[in-house]
């Protein structure tokens, strides 16, 4: 096992987040369906929660949750073929891609990038490293997300439009993948806002109900720092 891959949360260099990879999620946000995999980058600094294990809501920002399966790269490469792509995977993780939705909507309307809306500290909580050997089929897993015990997202990774080998082929044709890199594979339907004081839980399970990992944290308002004023 790659040591760097197992420690991806502290030693990985980049987080590649696939967008619009579940049809129902595309529809709920009124987005166009991509004709090829579409991605953006999140900073690895967004993996860490606050010292008291909380997700922060920046001032003036409407934050939405997006639960995802993460793919951890164990062997780097460039121009990796889909046929060989899984040989480059070391394992998987449970992740949440938090998004400043009102910020994202504002900059999208101007044709500007949305790095800031995706890149705040605490905006990508990640779970433990799950070795590839523990997951027989990454496209047959259950992803779920709850707020205060109420289920908001609950779907199968089998609903991905572009599967993991295709994602690795596409991304590695644009940029070299390195050990410890994390690919977020997209979120299913049900995204929505979180609020200060919410207790959130997310899970990744096998079809038989075996729990692979769970994440749990509380939401708090960030004091100071950037304030979005709706411009």
Query: Residue 1 above 60 pLDDT?
Result: no
Whether residue 21 contacts residue 162, with contact meaning beta carbons closer than 8 Å, is answered with yes
pLDDT at 30: 82
pLDDT given for residue 31 in this prediction = 82
Q: Does 129 have pLDDT greater than 90?
A: yes
Cα separation values, 43 from 17, 23, 197, Å? 10, 26, 25
Mean pLDDT of 113-127: 97
Checking if the pLDDT of 34 tops 90, the result is no
Q: How confident is residue 191, by pLDDT bands cut at 50, 70 and 90?
A: very high
The torsion defined by the Cα of 114, 188, 183 and 62, in degrees rounded to 10, comes to 30
Mean pLDDT throughout 200-221?
98
- pLDDT number for residue 23: 83
Q: In what order do the strands lie in the sheet with 192-193?
A: 99-100, 63-65, 192-193
Between residues 159 and 32, the one the model is more confident about: 159
Q: Domains in the chain, start-ordered, CATH in brackets?
A: 3-46+59-221 (3.90.850.10)
**Structure pTM?**
0.96
């Amino acid at each position: 096992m790659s040591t760097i891959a197992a420690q991806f949360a502290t030693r990985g260099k980049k987080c590649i987040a696939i967008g619009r990879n579940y049809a129902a999620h595309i529809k709920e946000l009124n987005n166009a369906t991509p004709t090829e995999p579409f991605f953006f980058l999140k900073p690895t600094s967004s993996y860490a929660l606050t010292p008291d294990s909380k997700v922060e809501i920046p001032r003036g920002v409407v934050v939405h949750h997006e639960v995802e399966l993460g793919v951890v790269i164990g062997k780097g490469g460039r121009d990796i073929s889909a046929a060989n792509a899984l040989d480059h995977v070391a394992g998987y993780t449970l992740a949440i891609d938090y998004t400043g939705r009102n910020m994202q909507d504002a900059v999208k309307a101007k044709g500007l990038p949305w790095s800031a809306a995706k890149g705040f500290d605490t905006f990508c909580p990640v779970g433990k490293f799950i070795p590839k050997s523990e997951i027989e089929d990454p496209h047959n897993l259950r992803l779920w997300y709850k707020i205060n015990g109420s289920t908001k997202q609950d779907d199968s990774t089998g609903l991905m439009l572009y599967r993991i080998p295709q994602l690795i082929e596409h991304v590695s044709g644009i940029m070299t993948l390195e050990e410890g890199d994390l690919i977020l594979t997209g979120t299913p339907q049900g995204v929505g806002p979180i609020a200060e004081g919410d207790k959130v839980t997310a899970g990744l399970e096998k079809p038989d109900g075996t729990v692979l990992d769970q994440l749990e944290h509380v939401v708090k308002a960030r004091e100071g720092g950037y304030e979005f004023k709706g411009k």
